[in-house]
């Protein structure tokens, strides 16, 4: 008896439009382009400042043009999306342990003289910080860094 022929289900090129969650994922991934744009924009500005007042004025005229403003507004929207979505995902990707955690004995594989063997080690367990706290601490960090930059610029 020959093996049955299976039907391979094709993946549509527009798979990312099939679910709202897929679309949000693709938008989140796209947002990195706009974050990179802001980095480039900032560098152009710094170079312009470095080259003197005339150059800086030219930069400001360019930055004030409608096209650049539209690009920056879109980039700002994507940057906010980037920040909010990645901050929200952090507690899922990272275990942050608080004061309730403790070290316990565990096993670890090591290579001794070319031979793999089990050795005693310790790992930290328990005391996982609640997701809300991890997310909130990131916003606090963002606020502190932003405040420092504002202070630096206004000096």
Partner 1 sequence: MADSIQMRVTRYDPDQDSAPTVATYDVPLRKDWAILDGLNYIKDHVDTSLSYRWSCRMGICGSCGMNVEGQPKLTCATFLTDYAPGPVRVEPLSNFPIVRDLVVDIDDFMEKLPRVKPWIIRDDDVTVIDGEYLQTPTELEEYKQFSNCINCMLCYAACPIYGLEPDFIGPAAIALAERYDLDTRDAGQRERLDVLIEREGVWGCTFVGECTRVCPKHVDPAGAIQRYKLKAAQENVMAFLLPRAAR
CB 123 within 8 A of CB 112: no
Q: Which of 53, 64, 92, 153 binds partner 1 (CB under 8 A)?
A: 92
The secondary structure of residue 103, as a DSSP letter, is E
**φ and ψ at residue 34, rounded to 5 degrees:** -75, -35
When asked if residue 104 is in the footprint of partner 1 (CB under 8 A), the reply is: yes
Binding part of the chain for partner 1, among 21-29, 33-41, 48-56, 62-70 by CB under 8 A, reads 21-29
Q: Are 113 and 85 in contact (CB under 8 A)?
A: no
Binding to partner 1 by residue 18, rule CB under 8 A? Answer: yes
In angstroms, the CA 154 to CA 86 distance is: 29
Q: Report the DSSP pairing between strands 102-112 and 115-125.
A: antiparallel
Nearer to partner 1, 51 or 108 (CB): 108
Nearest to partner 1 of 95, 149 (CB atom): 95
* Binding of residue 20 to partner 1 (CB under 8 A): no
For residues 37 and 39, give the distance between their C-alpha atoms in angstroms, rounded to a whole number. 5
Residue 155 interacts with partner 1 (CB under 8 A): yes or no:
no
Please report, as residue ranges, which positions from 114 to 153 form the binding site for partner 1 (by CB under 8 A).
Answer: 116-119, 123, 125-126
Residue 104: half-sphere exposure toward Cβ, Cα within 13 Å? 8
Give the dihedral sign, CA 125/131/132/135: positive
* List 60, 69, 77, 89, residue binding partner 1 (CB under 8 A): 89
Of residues 1, 40, 93, 152, which one binds partner 1 by CB under 8 A? 93
Residues within the interface to partner 1 (CB under 8 A): 4-9, 11, 15-16, 18-19, 21-22, 25, 29, 89, 92-95, 102, 104-109, 116-119, 123, 125-126
């Amino acid at each position: 008896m020959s093996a049955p022929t299976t039907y391979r289900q094709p993946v549509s090129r527009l798979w990312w439009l099939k679910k709202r969650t897929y679309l949000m994922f693709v938008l989140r991934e796209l947002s990195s382009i706009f974050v990179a744009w802001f980095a480039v924009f900032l560098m152009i500005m710094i170079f312009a400042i470095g080259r003197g007042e005339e150059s800086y004025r030219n930069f400001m005229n360019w930055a004030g043009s409608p096209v650049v403003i539209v690009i920056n507004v879109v980039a700002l929207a994507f940057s906010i999306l980037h920040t909010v979505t990645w901050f929200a995902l952090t507690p899922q990707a990272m275990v942050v342990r608080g004061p309730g955690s403790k070290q316990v004995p565990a096993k670890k594989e090591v290579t001794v003289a070319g031979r793999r063997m089990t050795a005693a080690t310790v790992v930290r367990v328990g005391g996982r910080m609640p997701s809300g706290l991890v997310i909130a601490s990131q916003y606090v960090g963002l606020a502190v860094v932003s405040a420092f930059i504002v202070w630096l610029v206004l000096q």
